[in-house]
Amino acid sequence: MEALAVRLSGLDPYVDGAIRIVAFYDTLMRRRVDLPALARASAGLAECVAGIRLHGTGRTIRMAPDGTAAPGPESPATSTVPITLDEEEIGTVWLERSGAVTNALDDVVLDRLALAVTAAVERYGPARTTMADPALVELVISADTDEAARARALRLLGFAADVPVRVVAVRPGPALDRIGALVCAGRPVKAAPLADVGVLLATTVDAARFPADVRAGIGAAAAPALSWRQARTALRFTTPREPVVRHADLGALALLAELPPEALRANPDVAAIARIASGADDLSTLDAYCTTGSLRRAADLLHLHHSSVARRVDQLAKALALDLTDPAGLTRAKLALAAWRLLGD
């Protein structure tokens, strides 16, 4: 390999310079230097001010060629390169040359500096990045993972071994990094898409901060594999009226998710719900009435007069063969509606 590098460097001065720069940063990375040292070395190599900025922390490091902190104010960057980790941009590196004159090898310097910064960020503490390697996340939440591998995956993702992690199942999955930043502001969070569901791993979750167009099921802060199972179950219970569901709030209702789909379909109350499901007004009325247990409060939710809601509820009672004014009948309707939604028919 060294012989090849020597032959290549003899062919082109640019290649020679690029190879020397690669070797320079390889040495710095082997020595496991920190961010100020990287900026200082880069400034000396490029013979101009070099800068590093991390978006998550707001930290900015600018070094002059003499190895001291560059005086302010910051000059316009003549070359910049983003720092990426797990396919997310976490910062920027740049050079500030006087007179806006660039060097042919500036891009090589910045590419290698960005790689070295990424390695340093991973080494010296969990990066303030949200997106994670899906393979690592899958290791954490899989029931088949042994505990040693799970602990290692959590450590690589930046979670302390003694802090419980809860799992959130999210649909739809796009923009998971922004969703994670919203609901776990200032706290450790990692996200990854798995099949058609997005996964968030977090120590705490603010359920009130989910975007309006997102549905989410939140597992308990227990063993990650159990929390993932709970999160998927809770996601199945979400509705347009209740887009975010905590598994802990389901109580005995969660038992419905354990029943075979054929058993649910065969139930007379669930079959009756399926028959009226084509009528959007019927479903919304039944949902509002089951949610509130009151004609007037259901009317407020639907923005209708309570007498109109009363007529609809009376018609629904006949179609379902249930007395919806009786607590037992209302309970049966609630269970049947939840079971029908679980089927996803």
29 and 138 in a single domain? The answer is no
Query: Is 30 within the bounds of a domain?
Result: yes
Which of 25-34, 226-235, 277-286 shows the highest mean pLDDT? 226-235
Q: Which domain holds residue 290?
A: 259-343
> 3-class secondary structure for 194-211?
ECCEEEEEECCCCHHHCC
Query: Is 274 within the bounds of a domain?
Result: yes
281 and 240 in a single domain? The answer is no
- Section 201-228 average pLDDT: 92
Question: Which of 77, 44, 47 shows the shortest CA–CA distance to 60?
Answer: 77
* Domain end (from 213, 234, 252): 252
190 and 98 in a single domain? The answer is no
CB 241 within 8 A of CB 204: no
Question: Which of 33, 91, 82, 94 shows the shortest CA–CA distance to 57?
Answer: 91
DSSP string, 16-49: HHHHHHHHHHHHHHHTT--HHHHHHHHHHHHTSE
CATH number where 283 lies: 1.10.10.2840
- 38-93: per-residue pLDDT in tens? 999 999 999 999 999 987 666 789 999 999 999 888 888 899 999 987 677 888 99
Count of structural domains, the chain: 3
71 and 146 in a single domain? The answer is no
23 and 107 in a single domain? The answer is yes
Q: Which residues contact 328 (CB under 8 A, 6 or more apart)?
A: none
DSSP class of residue 254 equals G
Query: Is 129 within the bounds of a domain?
Result: no
DSSP string, 302-337: HTS-HHHHHHHHHHHHHHHT--TTSHHHHHHHHHHH
* Domain end (from 198, 219, 252): 252
Question: Could you give the percent of the chain with pLDDT greater than 90?
Answer: 52
20 and 75 in a single domain? The answer is yes
Query: Is 128 within the bounds of a domain?
Result: no
- 131-160: per-residue pLDDT in tens? 888 888 999 999 999 988 888 888 888 787
- 292-323: per-residue pLDDT in tens? 888 999 889 888 898 998 999 999 999 999 99
State the amino acid at position 83 in one-letter form: I
DSSP string, 111-147: HHHHHHHHHHHHHTS--S--B--HHHHHHHH-TTS-H
CB 211 within 8 A of CB 179: yes
E strand or H helix at 61? strand 60-63
* Domain end (from 123, 157, 180): 123
207 and 285 in a single domain? The answer is no
206 and 317 in a single domain? The answer is no
